[in-house]
Amino acid sequence: KTDAPTIKEHINAFSHLSLFKTWKINTALGFPTALKSFNFNIIVLHYSLFGHPISLGKHFLSYLGSVKNSYKIAFFQDEHEYWPERAAFINEFDLNCVYSLFEPRYFDATYGKYTKVPKVLYNLTVYVSDQMIDFANQCLKPYDDRKIDVGYRARRLPYYLGRGAQEKSFIAEEFKRRVQNTDLKIDIETNEASRIYGEAWYHFLADCKAVLGVEAGTSVIDFDDVLRAQYAKLCTGPPEISFPQCSFDKFHNNYLTPYEDKIFYRTISPRHFEAAAFRICQILFEGEYSGILKPMEHYIPLKKDFTNFDDVKKMFMDSQLRSKIVDNAYRDLIESGAYSYEKFIQQFDEELIAEGFSPEIDMEESRMVSIQLERGRFRKHLYMLISGFRQLQFPGRKFFKPFLKPILKFLGI
């Protein structure tokens, strides 16, 4: 429930839409013993595995090392850090293909320089799912019935990610400051406690007439993984240089200047597709947005120094202009199907077929694999449910706590 809906939509697209029979394995539920018996033609590692930086236990890593003949594909996001670990993982397990958010012009300077992976393909952070469209249609409200003029959620990001990462919170704070004495009804927050997840996020969007936005990604790529360590050290240092007392500009001038914008790592984000699906007017910092969003056609452009703020506010209040921009975004991003999961998975399948793989499979063999991999699934889900319950704070918790440990031991995986 604390995941963005787009993560599950991305995962499910493979099993729902690919010509290839696909089995999903949630590594949080432990290593399925039966997996040792199978040598799959293709193994896809989803981007959700590479957050901190690699969420794979020793059994999964051992398995990956043992299946020498499998064609191994990894989807990566948040490629701005953990490069030594990322490169070592790619090289140790002989990955055959990487799907990256870096534009092709940077493939040689990134994966080509630091890894031996033979194929790198460009993709977007997310695509448009039928579930998103269905939910948007179910929640759709007339503009006059929406309670929020401008909505937005973001989190403050560490300084070492560069100026681009600071835009996510800066646009919120400056916009709030400038509209505080106006009639605009806003719901804009940047603190972690105000984050919205799951279906609640879609319900929030359905109440917005407009949303703020910036390009996803960062403006600093730390290939040597030194900036994060420097930043962590500074954060525990003297008050005059520690976050948040130290200004971003001071940190930037002292540490980030050699890194800033050396490699462009900015892209369109899931938020932009969601806003288009929910027919919300987007007020965005000027940017490239993967060449997909065009200013005054798909969004109202806001200069990063806010010098055109008054003009932006007037354009938003112009209902005819606002409707035209909303309609254009829905037409080009959603209705066209150009960025649908169907199209993306079709291209994914074509790449595999070009590598010599066939989606044909023996149905009885497929059924047996499914049965083997599903064994113990209910017990594992129950374990995770109770394990999560153990972390909750509620009245009477102390009476339940003694019983949870033996139950988890019994269900242990």
- Taking only the tens place, the pLDDT of each residue in 346-359 is 999 999 999 999 99
| Reported confidence tier of residue 253, pLDDT bands at 50, 70, 90 | confident
Residue 260: strand, helix, or coil: coil
Nearest to 301, CA basis, from 328, 319, 279, 325: 325
Helix H or strand E segment including 284: strand 281-285
* Integer Cα distance of 271 and 299 in angstroms: 13
**Whether the predicted pLDDT of 167 surpasses 80:** yes
Q: What pLDDT shows up at residue 54?
A: 84
Averaged pLDDT, 225-241? 74
Looking at every residue in the chain, the average pLDDT score rounds to 90
Strand order in the sheet with 71-75: 42-45, 71-75, 97-100, 119-122
Q: What pTM value is reported for the model?
A: 0.88
Residue partners of 72: CB distance under 8 A and separation at least 6: 42, 43, 45, 64, 93, 94, 95, 96, 97
Per cent of the chain over pLDDT 70 is 90
- Taking only the tens place, the pLDDT of each residue in 70-107 is 999 999 999 999 999 999 999 999 999 999 999 999 99
**252, 182 in Cβ contact below 8 A?**
no
**Whether the predicted pLDDT of 241 surpasses 80:** no
* Integer Cα distance of 335 and 83 in angstroms: 38
**214, 167 in Cβ contact below 8 A?**
yes
Q: What pLDDT shows up at residue 413?
A: 52
Q: What pLDDT shows up at residue 45?
A: 97
**Whether the predicted pLDDT of 396 surpasses 70:** no
Query: What's 285's DSSP letter?
Result: E
Pairing of strands 281-285, 208-213: parallel
> For 212, phi and psi rounded to 5 degrees?
-85, 165
DSSP labels, 292-326: T--BTTTBEEE-TT-TTHHHHHHHHH-HHHHHHHH
DSSP labels, 186-250: EEEE-SGGG---HHHHHHHHHTEEEEEE--EEES---TT--HHHHHHHHTTS-TTTSTTTS-HHH
Averaged pLDDT, 376-399? 68
**235, 203 in Cβ contact below 8 A?**
no
Helix H or strand E segment including 44: strand 42-45
Structural tokens at position 373: 């991999």
**Whether the predicted pLDDT of 408 surpasses 70:** no
| Reported confidence tier of residue 389, pLDDT bands at 50, 70, 90 | low
196 versus 401: which is more confidently predicted?
196
- Taking only the tens place, the pLDDT of each residue in 115-160 is 999 999 999 999 999 999 999 999 999 999 999 999 999 988 888 9
Burial 161-184 (b: 16+ CB within 10 A, else e): bbbbbbbbbbbbebbbeebeeeeb
* Integer Cα distance of 55 and 60 in angstroms: 10
